[in-house]
A = this chain, B = another copy of it.
Amino acid sequence: MREHSQWMQQALHLAEKGRGFTSPNPMVGAVIVKNRQIIGQGFHQKFGGPHAEVLALREAGNAAKGATLYVTLEPCVHHGKTPPCVPQIIQAGICEVYISMIDPNPLVNQEGIRRLKEAGIKVYTGLLEDEARILNRGFMYLIEKRRPWITLKMAQTADGYVADLKGNSKWITAPPARDFVASQRLLYDGVMVGVGTVLKDNPGLLPKKRDGYVPWRIILDETLQVPETAQVVSDDFKHRTLIVTLCDENKKLYNHFSAQGIHLLSIQKGSSGRVTMGETLKCLGEFGITSIYCEGGSHVAGSLLYEKICDELQLFIAPKVLGEGLSTFGGFRKSIEKPLPLIWDEIQKIGPDVLVRGRLDPCLQD
């Protein structure tokens, strides 16, 4: 079993290389093994490109006959941007297939496994399934909940303030925490802030290492207040900026941004007369974004929690006390008997700061 795990680990490692480029498709890695040697491997490199299994089969060539395939997601049976993988696996003469997780996509969902078995191939599922599910949690959320995975990151003082009473928030945390955040941005399809944060801090929202990947920089901006000079709409990566706005506001600026290659996503007021986070995220999911790292500010963070949308909370707690200041989560008020319940999963020190990782208590979620 350890050997099988080792090959699947390699497939997961390969899958990870596609991060940021495959959405809304999942990241997938595949390894073909014969006589305890890898004879072919591949990963899904970008949306619309060839699947991991196909690349691995190509590399293995005729040697694939009688070999074992390790693949992190159930192979597909449907014609998408590329032909289905299952027939190619069968044709290549693969005799055993290890699969981490079943594809939740209704077009596949166990049909791939059924067809492989039908062709006489031995199929094993569930090997390193947890790891595979974490890898593609965004992809799964989009299929299952019709919205991206949301990680909410907030940085506050020991006494729970994100800024002092003058609104100044630079800097709550020290450089190691800010580096950590910049690295986290690499792990998501998009980084999201409210327009207030753009107006106040003018952040670049760029990841630490720009190894070709810049996540979507999503600005929630109902009334299109982003100034033309803001970094996110004027730097070299402005084609990776996505402004979410009400369609009927400020047509002129809308067209200006559009002409600059900046993406705009028009949303509409819901039946309540306001834009909910739920509706906004649904639109972002339809746009192809499977996971978002939300960096505030207070109003956006409060709206997410209030609507019970927070799959992971990263709360940085700086060793500083302000006494008074701006609250971390704006816009709602709960009692001690009925607070919004969280679960703390992990704590760690990052430089002088503390990072507490948690999530909304799932009992509350539905």
Contact = CB atoms under 8 A, between A and B. Distances in A.
Contacts of A302: 323
Contact of A323 (B321, B332, B358): B332
Nearest to A356: B354
13 contacts: A158-B358, A159-B327, A164-B336, A168-B337, A170-B336, A319-B341, A319-B342, A319-B344, A320-B336, A320-B339, A322-B334, A323-B329, A344-B354
Given A159-B327, A329-B159, A349-B344, A164 B335 contact: yes
Question: Which 8 residue pairs across A and B have the least CB separation, nearest first?
Answer: A160-B160, A319-B342, A320-B339, A321-B340, A323-B332, A324-B333, A164-B336, A168-B336
Given A160-B328, A349-B344, A358 B170 contact: no
B349 A353 contact: no
A322 B347 contact: no
A224 to B, nearest CB: 28
A143 B354 CA distance: 34
Q: Which of A159, A344, A348 has the most CB of B within 10 A?
A: A159
A342 B331 CA distance: 29
A336 B353 CA distance: 15
A339 B344 CA distance: 27
A159 B157 contact: no
A343 B90 CA distance: 61
A68 to B, nearest CB: 42
A348 B315 CA distance: 15
A357 to B, nearest CB: 10
Contacts of A331: 323
Nearest to A330: B323
A333 B323 contact: yes
Contacts of A327: 159-160, 323-324
Nearest to A347: B347
Nearest to A322: B334
A161 interface: yes
Residue of A166, A322, A358 with most partner-chain B CB within 10 A: A322
A183 B188 CA distance: 44
B356 A317 contact: yes
A169 interface: yes
A65 to B, nearest CB: 53
A343 to B, nearest CB: 6
A158 B313 CA distance: 11
A305 interface: yes
A350 to B, nearest CB: 10
A189 B339 CA distance: 35
A71 interface: no
A31 interface: no
B159 A336 contact: no
Contacts of A329: 159, 321, 323
A168 B352 CA distance: 32
A164 B334 contact: yes
Nearest to A353: B344
A165 interface: yes
Contacts of A158: 160, 313, 315, 328, 342, 356, 358
A334 B321 contact: yes
A178 to B, nearest CB: 14
